[in-house]
Amino acid sequence: MRNVMLWPTVMAIGSLALVVSTPIHAAGEGVDKMSFFVTSVGQGKGGNLGGIEGADQHCQSLAKAAGAGKHTWHAYLSSQGKDFKDPVIHARERIGTGPWYNAKGVMIAKNVEDLHSGENKINKETALDENGKPVNGRGDKPNKHDILTGSRIDGTAFAPAPPFHDMTCGNWTREDDDGSAMIGHHDRQGPNDNAWASSWNSAHPTRGCSPKGVQSTGGDALLYCFASDE
């Protein structure tokens, strides 16, 4: 009789252990389907990302740590070239073709055109980090809703000429108080109701490229990362 009475307790303990050991991604579609995330941390150097290559490596490293390293990850960043001599890079052309899903299995866009339309599903609830956690937005402390993009609303680069001569912190190599970088708001929130305030990829430039300059407008040099092999 004693063994019979103990059996439900043993089963309950076993079930609890199974729940505790289950990865966070098991609750949704899983990390295997994740093809989009916002970086949980910046690189600590403001707008100096080590160039676009350094930003890609940051995306890849965070994805690998989260169990999604089998994909090829690219940061959603544009580059303006230099003095019209170096190649111009458009963010929209380096992220694959979609569709893209967050860590909970929610599709944020079907394809490149959908991503750059008013139909995409990027907002505070869906623009999760690589671990499936929400990223601080407007009203949170600290606010981290400024996501570096260096891009126009259609995902293309700015021309490297006034008044937009530097919208990429020197093509992602500067960490001083000069220059600036265009950012988007992952939570689609801003100080007013103008369309730019709710843009996920082209809301306003930073106040310089230093860590403090980037943070001063509500950011932490975070990035959008896309699996380009989807």
- What CATH number is associated with residue 221? 3.10.100.10
Mention every residue, 6+ apart, whose C-beta is less than 8 A from residue 63: 34, 37, 69, 71, 73, 130, 225, 227
- pTM for the predicted model, two decimal places: 0.86
In a domain, 7, yes or no: no
Contact 218, 136 (CB under 8 A): no
In a domain, 4, yes or no: no
Give the type of residue at 70.
Answer: K
**pLDDT of amino acid 196:** 82
**pLDDT of amino acid 197:** 86
**pLDDT of amino acid 83:** 66
In a domain, 187, yes or no: yes
Q: 165, 153, 140, 170: which is closest to 45 by C-alpha?
A: 170
**pLDDT of amino acid 61:** 98
DSSP labels for 167-224? SBHHHHT--SSS--BEEEETT---SSSSGGGG-SS-SEE-S-SSHHHHHTTSEEEEEE
In a domain, 207, yes or no: yes
Count how many domains the chain has. 1
Element of type H or E holding 123:
none
Q: 78, 82, 75, 120: which is closest to 101 by C-alpha?
A: 120
**pLDDT of amino acid 226:** 98
Neighbours of 63 (CB within 10 A): 23
**pLDDT of amino acid 25:** 43
**pLDDT of amino acid 85:** 66
Dihedral through CA 201, CA 87, CA 167, CA 222, nearest 10? Answer: 50
In a domain, 218, yes or no: yes
Domain around 196: 28-227
**pLDDT-flagged residues of the chain (< 70):** 1-30, 83-85, 230
Contact 134, 128 (CB under 8 A): yes
In a domain, 182, yes or no: yes
Contact 175, 43 (CB under 8 A): no
In a domain, 10, yes or no: no
Neighbours of 138 (CB within 10 A): 18
In a domain, 130, yes or no: yes
Separation between Cα atoms, residue 72 and residue 59, nearest integer Å: 9
